[in-house]
Amino acid sequence: MLAAENGLKSDPRLQGISEAIRVVPHFPKQGIMFQDITTLLLDHKAFKDTVDIFVDRYRDMNISVVAGVEARGFMFGPAIALAIGAKFVPLRKPRKLPGEVISEAYELEYGTDCLEIHVGAVQPGERAIVIDDLVATGGTLSAAISLLERVGAEVIECACVIGVPDAKGQCRLNGKPLYILVEPRQTDNCC
């Protein structure tokens, strides 16, 4: 669900967030309109508004785990976790976490990948959200949900700053709600 469809339709923060995301044509390959959130991070107001909207949504949902998907979920997740009184749990690519881990492989458009979590990072019954910067096919979020459920978490929702409108990953999220702030822009008006 888009934030604009959930009571924030006239919220000017959403336009500011959208405009703060730079569009880089043909990166990393021809035909891709890359949504670069680094420019959002450089804009104090847009970055704060992004975190604030997520915090407002999750503050009263008794969330105990904010799981961030490597690497861009790490940019939003810790701030959200601190603000709502939850712990931040990184979901990392293979061989990035020391110690014992649990892994979840998943399919990408052009191959496979894997996410890992530390054993003991999440306790059975904890309520979790998954945060990432962008959802297209939903493959990464689906793997994150599976990984968290394997360790006993109750995944309440997935949250992304940007959601590709045609895919939005809904069908791959095992019925879990998806909360998206903005849709991707096709051109960068500022450059």
Residue of 152, 186, 136, 191 lying closest to 18 (CA atoms): 186
Prediction pTM value: 0.92
What's the pLDDT band for 4 if we cut at 50, 70, 90? confident
H or E element in which residue 22 lies? strand 22-25
Report how far residue 176's alpha carbon sits from residue 105's, in angstroms, rounded to the nearest whole number: 19
Chain centroid to CA 23: 18
% of the chain exceeding 70 in pLDDT: 93
Sign of CA dihedral 175, 62, 45, 133: negative
Active site residues: 72, 109
Structure tokens at 4: 């604009």
What's the pLDDT band for 174 if we cut at 50, 70, 90? confident
Quick check: 188 and 27 in contact, CB under 8 A? no
Quick check: 127 and 65 in contact, CB under 8 A? yes
- State residue 186's pLDDT score: 81
Quick check: 129 and 65 in contact, CB under 8 A? yes
